[in-house]
Chain A
Amino acid sequence: MKFGIVVFPGSNCDRDMQDSLQNDLNQEVVMLWHKDKDLSMFSTEDCIVLPGGFSYGDYLRCGAIARFSPMMESVIAFANKGGKVLGVCNGFQILCESHLLPGALLRNANQKFICKNVYLTGVGGSGLKIPIAHGEGRYFADEKTLDALEANGQVIYRYCDENGNITAEANPNGAIRNIAGISNKEGNVFGMMPHPERATSAILGNTDGRAILNSLLINAAVTI
């Protein structure tokens, strides 16, 4: 498989994602510009990544303007065909604004931009240490949507403590039901607030992100 990483004006984790996938995980990566729309070099076995950052300055709402960029039109069509799409941080916000994933990301409950390591449980393991860096990461959806997400196994990551216990204290931003990441019903679109690409290099002291990118995408035997 190969990866395409979309660069929006204001993306700032695109090169981190490229470095992680290419150099740490040995994957083929193509960088994509938001003003282009050609995804013909990708098959549905490939994955388009929407990286973190502040696309379009976070104007109006995080991810709201990016949704209408030419490349996003193609990404939405690609996802609807069954192609894999991963959104990290601002990418997750864009996926929610694009209606490829349900719900929305609200301003953190504690009024702070939070930049630190947290622990996750979900696809790839439990107690995975992964960095977060966001001001608007409080996942929210109505009760009916949340029940459907859980019933379909679409909650792919929750905030937990070091030992994998899902507790209120381990929830950094007030996300409803400790949700850190979800997938769509079909299991080909994934969104998460934490940054696995910042935790794949041994030289940086944390490789827990490898388990996430490997089990979610690279070595995913079956869709979720």
Chain B
Amino acid sequence: MTYTVQVKVMPLKDLLDPQGKAVMGGLSNLGLQGVADVRIGKNISMQIDAATADEAKAIAEEAAKKLLANPVMEQYEISVN
């Protein structure tokens, strides 16, 4: 069956995220209160044909490890629907 698999990729916590910082500046210009931090990542959605959800997740895991995320600067989370 076909599974929808989402890979959420985020910059590592300790690294400066200039994009998030710029958006936070924009939010503050909007007059929004209380936004303490903004970080921007990517959500990658894939349709994966596999026998089981675990198999689909394993394929996504390999995709994330080899191409979708760079462990030097990013971390990722996988969710299967």
Instruction: Find residues 67-101 in chain A having any chain B CB closer than 8 Å to their own CB.
Output: 68, 96-97
Q: Is the CB of A108 within 8 A of B67?
A: no
Interface size on A, residues (CB 8 A): 18
Interface of A is mostly: loop
C-alpha spacing A214/B73, complex, angstroms? 33
Contact with A along B6-24 (1 / 0, CB 8 A): 0000000001111101100
| Closest CB pairs A-B (n = 6) | A104-B72, A111-B18, A104-B73, A107-B18, A111-B22, A104-B70
A-B contact pairs, 12 of them (CB 8 A): A68-B67, A103-B72, A104-B73, A107-B17, A108-B18, A110-B18, A111-B18, A111-B19, A140-B72, A140-B73, A141-B72, A174-B16
**Chain A residue at minimal CB-CB distance from B42:** A60
C-alpha spacing A107/B68, complex, angstroms? 17
Q: Is the CB of B70 within 8 A of A61?
A: yes
Interface status of A211 (Cβ within 8 A of chain B):
no
Q: Is the CB of A106 within 8 A of B67?
A: no
C-alpha spacing A111/B72, complex, angstroms? 20
